[in-house]
Amino acid sequence: MTNPAQLEKYSLYKESEIKHGRVAMLAAPGFLIAEKFHPLFGGNVDAPSILAFQQTPLQTIWPIVLLVIGAIEGYSSVSTYKDPSTAAWSIKEDHLAGDLGMFGGAKQAKSNPAGYKALATKEINNGRLAMMAIAGMVVQELVFHVKL
């Protein structure tokens, strides 16, 4: 990739893939666990995960959930993207894909580049698998209307 526009777009896609993969890696086991073990609301929720929120008062907390997600996105966007007034949807040149600045990814990449590359590859592959898994679980519950 010698074209700077292609490289910039690749950086954006890589950042997006890592973020979506991390969310999916949390969602996939959560989807299964919520169907087997639901301690909230007296444990009375006995429905497929895709429909469970409709049987609980969880609908009222969505504004709080959106605020928390917005805060996380805002925090990560400041360290990731260039100033939107000059370059919309452009990743900073010195940004390491997937590094939120909290868990030492940049430090590990500098101290052990081979180990970091192996770990990053595993994360991307597991994230891809989790994205396919959660999509399959959601589709299965929507089609058959039964718990997994």
Which pLDDT does position 3 carry in this prediction? Answer: 80
Tens digit of pLDDT for each residue in 9-28?
Answer: 888 889 889 999 999 999 99
Task: Please give the mean pLDDT across all residues of the chain.
Answer: 84
Average pLDDT over residues 127-145: 94
Amino acid identity of 106? A
pTM of the entire structure? 0.82
Is residue 118 exposed (0-12), middle (13-18) or buried (19+ Cβ within 10 Å)? exposed
Q: Which pair of structure tokens corresponds to residue 61?
A: 């907390």
What CA–CA distance (Å, rounded) separates 46 from 69? 27
In the prediction, which pLDDT does 70 show? Answer: 92
